[in-house]
Amino acid sequence: MPELRKDPIIGRWVIISTERGMRPTDFTMMEEKKKGGFCPFCPGNEGATPPEILCYRENSTKPNTPGWSLRVVANKFPALRVEGELNREGEGVYDRMNGIGAHEVIIESPYHSDTLSTISVKNFEDLLWAFRDRMIDLRKDARLKYVLIFKNQGESAGASLEHTHSQLIALPIVPKRVTEELEGAKAYYSYKERCIFCDIIRQETKQGSRVISENQDFIVIAPFAPRSPFETWILPKRHSCAFDDGQKHEFENLARIFSDTLKRLDKVLSTPPYNFILHTAPFSNGCGDSYHWHFEIVPKLVKIAGFEWGSGFYINPTPPEESARFMREVKL
């Protein structure tokens, strides 16, 4: 059973994932993995994954068989397990609990060569609905407090399989990084009685130098203080704290602008590895007026080294105004 252990100094929780137990030799640096070979995510190999939790497929096809356009399955090597009780306990100054949660994989396309920048806008919209459907379902579990949805694109960004997929991890606690963002937004709201993200949207729209694109419902910007070159945020123009409250026309426009943004990144940076993370409100939190859900896309272009680990500072060699200009002006 995985464990959650709390750092008693800064309050950060760590997952000790016994399901992924590794020996010292497992950490030896290896050459880049060869591409090709057997892929458990390709059609016809459904038996190589756990049974599907959610699937969008042709009406005449049976579960766990080909004929699907998107599948959600449990991660075969989960960081957390859904079965069991939390069993919180103390050990002197330390706190721990069982690693209860959910770890799921969203297989975004049946085609092995697809990426999120090449699938159709309709398929991209289906992916967003899958995120929403799984979040709504996991809300029903009283043990769970937060769902983190993320994508690792490319081996250097953490992807272990090249077939395009994203992941979902539902947690019994709200992560420290999320809590810090929530508290920062709440402090701003307490002082000004306005949402900090709404104010950012207004200011960036007025200035224009860091705006990459926008449509009726969303704006894409290079943030003022990016941690990495070409870090990019996608924010809804309508204030909302929870992604799963999105409306149909919003998901349609989000799919269009998200797809366009990834195409721009591919064009400017020659198909870079990247991570994206959905920032959304916890399941039960009174942050409706102060918080604003959004996506953050972080290309994997620089290495995080000793200074960053020791200080929490990030060194970014590319001003956001410049990266926004490159992204804005690229010819698709």
Which residues have a catalytic role annotated?
Answer: 165
SS3 state of residue 153: strand
Q: What's the DSSP call for residue 238?
A: S
Total Cβ atoms within 10 A of residue 329: 10
Q: What's the DSSP call for residue 44?
A: T
User: CB–CB of 55/71 below 8 Å?
Assistant: yes
Side-chain-side CA neighbours of 134 within 13 Å: the count stands at 28
Closest CA to 125 of 113, 110, 103, 108: 108
Structure tokens at 212: 């990459």
Looking up tokens 């020996």 gives 23
Please write down the long-range contacts of 72-75, taking CB distance under 8 Å and 24 or more positions apart. 72/104, 72/105, 72/106, 72/107, 72/130, 72/134, 72/168, 73/49, 73/104, 73/105, 73/107, 74/50, 74/102, 74/103, 74/104, 74/105, 75/50, 75/103, 75/104, 75/105, 75/167
User: CB–CB of 269/154 below 8 Å?
Assistant: no
SS3 state of residue 292: coil
Taking CA atoms, 15 is separated from 136, 172, 189, in Å, by 24, 11, 32
Structure tokens at 6: 């709390």
Total Cβ atoms within 10 A of residue 51: 12
